[in-house]
Amino acid sequence: MFDARLRPFIDGPLDAIALRLVRSGVRADTITWVALAAGLGGAVLVAGLDFGWGLALFVVNRVLDGLDGAVARRTALTDRGGFLDIVCDFLVYAAFPLAFAFADPDRNALAAACLLASFIASGCTFLAFAAIAAKRGLSTSAQGHKSIYYLAGLAEGFETIAAFVTMCLWPAEFPVIAYGFAALCLVSAVARIVSGLQTLR
């Protein structure tokens, strides 16, 4: 919901860092792999009840996720890189609710399952539209330059980050946060279905 509005404030600093990384010979794919390791490592720490360091690694993951795209834009945007980036994002987003379920199964398991189900609903509408959009040659730059057609929704990157940060800061409130964010993701899924059907009519 806020991603497009925040891009003008984020892109400048990321591009400045990306320029230094490119000059040092750092490749975008390398950053993506390191980001994945940080994100999954953070989820493991959350599962072990170390919410502070889990949050720190999640923040590292999100910063690096922005940097890999900035580096790619300064070198070479590839389908391989775009594929790797979106897959790694989904893996990390799935790992954190699962981590909270492991951290406290009695309190968190059902809420985590509902949140993961909402991620599937939102993700499949997002990716299915992107696949058809590519087939039709549709494109958009509303969310910045992306490897796939990025169909916007209420629950996007900023909202996901905010939800996970809040969960780590107040882990006892995970069920409430998870149910609330799951509802937002489901609304996004429905909105994407409606928008997709209208666009592809």
**Residue 49: CA count within 13 A, CB half-sphere:** 4
Question: If we measure between CA atoms, which residue out of 113, 153, 112, 111 comes closest to residue 129?
Answer: 153
Q: pLDDT tens-digit profile of 37-96?
A: 999 999 999 999 999 999 999 999 999 998 988 898 888 788 888 899 999 999 999 999
Handedness of CA 182, 187, 188, 193 (dihedral sign): positive
Contact by Cβ (8 Å): 159, 168? no
Q: Does pLDDT of 99 surpass 80?
A: yes
Tokens of 8: 């003008």
The CATH homologous superfamily for domain 3-199 is CDP-alcohol phosphotransferase transmembrane (TM) domain (1.20.120.1760)
Where do the domains of the chain lie? Answer: 3-199
Q: Does pLDDT of 5 surpass 80?
A: no
Contact by Cβ (8 Å): 122, 192? yes
Tokens of 121: 């609903």
Contact by Cβ (8 Å): 46, 168? yes
Q: Which residue has the tokens 């998870």?
A: 178
Q: Does pLDDT of 140 surpass 90?
A: no
CA angle at 38 for the pair 109 and 20, rounded to the nearest 5°: 150
Q: What is the mean pLDDT of the chain?
A: 87
CA distance 6 to 158: 9
Q: Does pLDDT of 6 surpass 60?
A: no
More confident of the two residues 22 and 175: 175
Q: Average pLDDT of 120-149?
A: 74
CA distance 129 to 68: 24
Q: Is the pTM of this model over 0.75?
A: yes
Contact by Cβ (8 Å): 159, 181? yes
Q: pLDDT tens-digit profile of 171-197?
A: 999 999 999 999 999 998 898 888 888
Among 12-16, 83-87, 90-94, 101-105, which stretch is predicted with the lowest mean pLDDT? 12-16
Query: How many CB atoms sit inside 10 A of residue 16's CB?
Result: 10
